[in-house]
Chain A
Amino acid sequence: MSKLRRKIYITAGYNTISMGTGRKEFNPKKERAGLEDYIKEAGMGVLNQVGGGKLIDECVISNFMAARYNRQANLAAFFPMIDESLRYKPAIRVEGACGSGGLAIATAIKSILAETADVVLALGVEVQNTVKAVYGADILAGAGWSKKRKNGHAHFFPGQFSDRAGVYYQKYGKEYARKAYSRWFGNMIDNARLCPTAQEHHNTMANPAETHFKAEPNGKFFVDHLNVFDCSKVSDGASAILVCSEEGLKKLGVDKKNAVEIISFAQVADDITKDPENPVELTTVKTAVHWALQSASLTINDIATAEIHDCFTAAAVLAVEALGLAEPGKGAQYIIDGNTARTGSFPMNTTGGLIGWGHPVGATGIHMAVTILEQFTGKAGKAQITIPANKPYGMTVNMGGDDRTLTAIVYKKAE
């Protein structure tokens, strides 16, 4: 991966509420906002910050499985619904399972680099609460190889990461690993409570980490090595952001203090038909992070905060190791020691991540970028962390499937 040939920025981010169990206003028995409502809200949320859609050159929408959740395909054609000025403009839909949002930003970056656009609207959406979890598991299983579904767990993806967790327990100790999962869960709830759009914003648990730790995984009711708190929730939501060139920012009249620079990115994929080479390593995450940092001529120690893909607590521990913050087997200790907490040495997922903020699959990668934008422009509200002056860098790592489709992006406070 080489250095980017143009300066790239993100600005004008917007997140809808991540709706689902946990939110007070969520009632599965009542009619709720649909796919188009979320697209419209997120799209308008961005466009209202820049005076409408006239200056948008291209649009990218990321989504995983609206065709099954919502009986809807051809999603790119929803952009003109957001704003009439988007009619007849280039629009494309991208899909890479839970990594779809990352692909939307990567696609936008490429358009800017190709000089076919100066301002790209990237919008991610997923509306999953249309089906019960037992059927949602079938849909989400599409993020893995279809040939593996038959012998997979009823709850397919929790099953995949439960298997990884089982090996981690065996290798490094179950209690040790579960302590880290509990701490991670607690951190995510703490962070989500500070973010009004987070699914766990209303969480009232007296001691989330303790509640997590007491809930022993039970394969009879769920999966062998994870409990329900180890998993991100089923969510409805959308996130959107503008990806711009320097000229694009100027055209929009956006001051750089309201933007964040993307200084490198790595978008890589691995063979979906193969099992993980090493169940206790996220090899593709490791590769993408490596390329993104190398391309930015940085090391992980230069990064102030990261949004990582904690679809499961077990994935968070492995991601910490894949980022190079801890040796194999030491990621759990890194989390237990509080490094990833919002007051720690390397705050992660400062608005709750997938476990606390929510995981509207196709929107997640964009939500990560919006969080980094908010943190580096001082607009994270109560969730704001302090970015040290000597570490003006952030990172997002968005993963599709079981470590298959990855986008890692490195950001810098705009100057």
Chain B
Amino acid sequence: MNYTDRLQNVSVLGAAGKMGSGILLLTAVEMADLKLLPENKDKQFVLNAIDVSPSGLQGLMKYLKTQVLKIAEKKISWLREIYASRADLVENGEIIEEYVFEVLSLVQPTSRIEAAYGSTVIFEAIKEDPTLKVTIFSNIDKNNSNKPWFFTNTSSIPIGNLNKDAALEGRVIGFHFYNPPAVQKLVELIKADKTIPELVEFARQYAKKLKKVVVDSNDFAGFIGNGHFMRDALHGIGEVEKLSEEMPFIEAVYMINKITQDYLVRPMGIFQLIDYVGIDVCQYILSVMDPYFPNEELHSKLLDILLQNGVKGGQNADGSQKDGFLKYEKGAPVAVFDFKDKTYHTITAFKENCDKRLGSMPTAFQPWKVIMKDSNKTASLSQYFKELKGMDSLGAKLAKTYHQRSLTIGLQLVKDGVAHSNEDVNTVMLTGFFHSFGPINDFMTS
């Protein structure tokens, strides 16, 4: 079965979710583009969008329509060539409309898992629950005579375990998109010991067609992305706990969030990132990873407390940020949650005092947005860190410790064999997390 034949009948599980909808969009477009090639004109293509939520599926179709329209507008020159023989399609507008229809008509939304029984490729983007994933994989595999290939979007569960527990005979691979899949260029590719080579080859071809940057990760819980992020987050939480001994908790959260965003020149602070991913999701990922690392404690009591208080973070259906560690207005943090009195405290009330305690920023500091557009980014960052290194303020000390911890995590991922190289670790953090520099660098040593 060649690449095209393999993609003739595909199912996406969890298609209405944040990740699933993006995976569905990219796959639908790829399948439609194959279908439009003259040599495939007699082939049938089906993409089952499977989700437990009927209302979610309705929202999915609206999302697809909007996104496919944008994609079609961008590739109008190619579409004009593809539809050259259609005399009825003359204007760009007519061609774009036809293409959107073509893509949407491949998609069959359904809440019935049975739809996947006829598929040859299954993309899975459901809850990060190993038992649930195994049950569903196993169910589909038993009822599907095509010996389908499974692509799991897990960000933490070892693929080898899924393969073994669901008895998939090597027909599963980790294909971890970053959020949102339609925008983020990075995919972590994780093959289990027994993953069949043909599946790996297909996955690489599919990633290439989607113009993704592929980083191979070895099959260790958390892989590279969460391997770094979770440990980095735990460090931040630890720093907050330490600072809380001498200052209010909310001020400590504000400070560490500022250290990670401003001092480490990242797109957002660590607590904003935890909120973005979801406190519950982070806790779940940690619980999945923890058993595989007996020498580490991958768990946070603080996350447990927040969740007990109903503070979860994550996003609303419209993509806006839910409150978590921080409270948001128009996407920007405005208050910090204090689990002791269970209320949010406005940042402006203590910001000035905290900033004063942290001390002044290095004069060479430039915000993340500016640095990312800087054509001499590395030189600018070198200058910035050189200055930071010589500073003795509380902010500088916290930043240097954080920077060192991030470096140690990165190096450990390579040493433990999770990542193949320093470069792979950096690529994941640069491409998947939009850091302005990779964790493995010599800014503080040179």
Contacts and interface: CB of A to CB of B under 8 A. Distances in A.
Contacts of B84: 151
A158 to B, nearest CB: 11
Nearest to B79: A154
17 contacts: A132-B73, A134-B73, A134-B76, A135-B92, A135-B93, A137-B92, A138-B93, A149-B91, A150-B87, A150-B90, A151-B84, A153-B80, A154-B76, A154-B77, A154-B79, A154-B80, A154-B92
Interface residues of A, number: 12
B50 to A, nearest CB: 33
A55 B91 CA distance: 45
A301 to B, nearest CB: 44
B96 interface: yes
Interface centre among A149, A151, A153, A154 (most CB of B within 10 A): A154
Contacts of A149: 90-91
Contacts of B96: 134
B92 A134 contact: yes
Contacts of A132: 73
B255 to A, nearest CB: 36
Secondary structure type dominating chain A contacts: loop
Contacts, number: 25
Contacts of A137: 92
Nearest to A221: B77
B73 A138 contact: no
Interface of B: 73, 76-77, 79-80, 84, 87, 90-93, 96
Given A153-B77, A154-B77, A138 B87 contact: no
B79 to A, nearest CB: 8
A393 B328 CA distance: 64
What are the 9 A-B residue pairs with the smallest beta carbon separation, nearest first?
A138-B91, A154-B76, A154-B77, A134-B73, A150-B90, A138-B92, A154-B80, A135-B93, A134-B92
Contacts of B93: 135, 138
Nearest to B91: A138
A305 to B, nearest CB: 38
A232 to B, nearest CB: 19
A336 B13 CA distance: 61
Interface string A150-177: 1101100000000000000000000000
A137 B96 CA distance: 13
Contacts of B90: 149-150
A344 B145 CA distance: 79
Contacts of B91: 138, 141, 149
Interface string A7-41: 00000000000000000000000000000000000
B330 to A, nearest CB: 15
A126 to B, nearest CB: 19
Given A153-B80, A154-B77, 7 more contacts: A134-B76, A138-B91, A149-B90, A150-B90, A151-B84, A154-B76, A154-B92
Nearest to A219: B77
Interface centre among B76, B84, B96 (most CB of A within 10 A): B76
Nearest to B80: A154
A24 to B, nearest CB: 19
Contacts of A220: 77
Contacts of A154: 76-77, 79-80, 92
Contacts of B92: 134-135, 137-138, 154
Contacts of B76: 134, 154
Nearest to B87: A150
Contacts of B79: 154
Contacts of A134: 73, 76, 92, 96
A132 B93 CA distance: 10
A141 B96 CA distance: 16
Contacts of A138: 91-93
A134 B69 CA distance: 12
Nearest to A156: B92
B266 to A, nearest CB: 28
Contacts of A135: 92-93
A220 B91 CA distance: 19
A346 B91 CA distance: 41
B381 to A, nearest CB: 24
A322 B79 CA distance: 37
Interface in A127-146: 132, 134-135, 137-138, 141
